[in-house]
């Protein structure tokens, strides 16, 4: 049995679309960090996206746990030309595309960015590789909102729009267990 502990990085306080931009996390909530650190098995393996907000969050909760190299494919959604822009700006520029991207996720993509299906394929491949390499282990994946939703969608067997209905707070944990190729979801958006 392999267990995935999907952790969303600390808050950035950005009010714009933040995907591949390397914005640091605010890790000043030491109580939340300590609770996260204590929540996980001591022999769990830690891996994060290569963006500093995930790297620094992983470092803050790692303790003496084994740490894997940062994984580029655990990055957030690539928002292309929408990056670091507010939804209001994006909607004013192209309301139909903005609506379609969130209302009908799948093949719709922002200009020069990724569709939901692109993100899902990228993250699925990364997670599959980690599961194959560390079968039977507890894996703490410190990543992003979109990354966590891709795996919840997969484990729950729901569509992308249903996945987007889940709230994933910063410094929360969502848990997935894989046993004999069967995926099951434990807690979602848990704040230890």
* pLDDT tens column, 22-35: 999 999 999 999 99
Q: Which residues contact 28 (CB under 8 A, 6 or more apart)?
A: none
Whether residue 150 lies inside any domain: the answer is yes
| Cβ contact 74:54 at 8 Å | yes
Whether residue 63 lies inside any domain: the answer is yes
Phi-psi sector, 107: left (phi>0), alpha (psi -120 to 50), beta: alpha
The H-or-E segment that residue 143 falls in is: strand 138-143
- pLDDT for res 102: 87
Whether residue 127 lies inside any domain: the answer is yes
Whether residue 95 lies inside any domain: the answer is no
Whether residue 86 lies inside any domain: the answer is no
* pLDDT tens column, 55-114: 999 999 999 999 999 999 999 999 999 999 999 999 999 999 999 998 888 999 999 999
Asked about 34 being catalytic, the answer comes back as no
* pLDDT tens column, 107-144: 999 999 999 999 999 999 999 999 999 999 999 999 99
What pairing do the DSSP bridges indicate for beta strands 66-67 and 45-48?
A: parallel
% residues pLDDT > 90 (the chain): 96
pTM here is 0.96
- Looking up residue 175, the CATH number of its domain turns out to be 3.40.50.1240
Which listed residue (71, 76, 114, 144) is catalytic? Answer: 76
- pLDDT for res 8: 98
Whether residue 103 lies inside any domain: the answer is no
Alpha carbon of 146 to those of 23, 31, 64, 140, 172: distances in Å? Answer: 16, 25, 28, 16, 14
pLDDT at 167 over 90: yes
Outline where the chain has alpha helix (H).
30-39, 52-62, 87-93, 95-103, 116-133, 145-156, 160-163
Structural domain tally of the chain? 1
Domain of 49?
A: 2-79+117-185
Whether residue 190 lies inside any domain: the answer is no
- pLDDT for res 157: 96
- Phi and psi for 163 in degrees, rounded to 5? -60, -40
Asked about 93 being catalytic, the answer comes back as no
Whether residue 165 lies inside any domain: the answer is yes
- pLDDT for res 158: 96
């Amino acid at each position: 049995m392999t267990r995935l502990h999907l952790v969303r990085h600390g808050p950035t306080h950005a009010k714009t679309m933040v995907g591949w931009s390397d914005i640091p996390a605010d890790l000043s909530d030491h109580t939340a960090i300590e609770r996260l650190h204590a929540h996980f098995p001591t022999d769990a393996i830690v891996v994060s996206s290569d963006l500093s907000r995930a790297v620094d969050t992983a470092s803050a909760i790692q303790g003496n746990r084994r740490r894997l190299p940062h994984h580029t494919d655990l990055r957030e959604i690539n928002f292309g030309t929408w990056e670091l822009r507010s939804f209001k700006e994006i909607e004013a520029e192209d309301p139909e595309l903005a609506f379609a991207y969130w209302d009908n996720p799948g093949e719709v993509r922002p200009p020069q960015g990724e569709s939901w299906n692109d993100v899902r394929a990228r993250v699925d491949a990364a997670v599959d590789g980690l599961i194959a390499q560390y079968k039977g282990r507890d894996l703490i994946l410190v990543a992003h909102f979109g990354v966590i939703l891709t795996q919840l969608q997969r484990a729950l067997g729901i569509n992308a729009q249903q996945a987007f209905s889940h709230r994933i707070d910063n410094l929360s944990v969502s848990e997935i267990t894989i046993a004999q190729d069967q995926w099951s979801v434990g807690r979602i958006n848990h704040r230890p």
